[in-house]
């Protein structure tokens, strides 16, 4: 496999990942809810529809 790009995670990203793992809510925790809400707002900005 050819590696097209190398992701770079800074301290802020690593801290957020550690926080999620420490909460034991990897799939349906508060970070997921925040992500889904922000994504919905982003989609709706363009006149789209979401079902969540």
Per-residue pLDDT of 1-52, as tens digits, reads 788 888 888 999 999 889 989 988 888 888 888 999 999 888 888 766 666 5
Cα of first residue to Cα of last residue in the chain, in angstroms, is 35
pTM of the predicted model as reported, rounded to 2 decimal places? 0.56
Q: Where are the domains of the chain?
A: 28-52
Backbone angles phi, psi at 30, to 5 degrees: -65, -30
Backbone angles phi, psi at 39, to 5 degrees: -65, -45
Extract the tokens encoding 6. 């190398």
């Amino acid at each position: 496999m050819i590696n097209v790009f190398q992701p770079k995670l800074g301290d802020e990203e690593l801290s957020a990942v550690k926080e999620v793992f420490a909460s034991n809510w990897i799939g349906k925790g508060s970070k997921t809810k925040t992500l889904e809400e922000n994504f919905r707002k982003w989609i709706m900005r363009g006149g789209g529809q979401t079902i969540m």
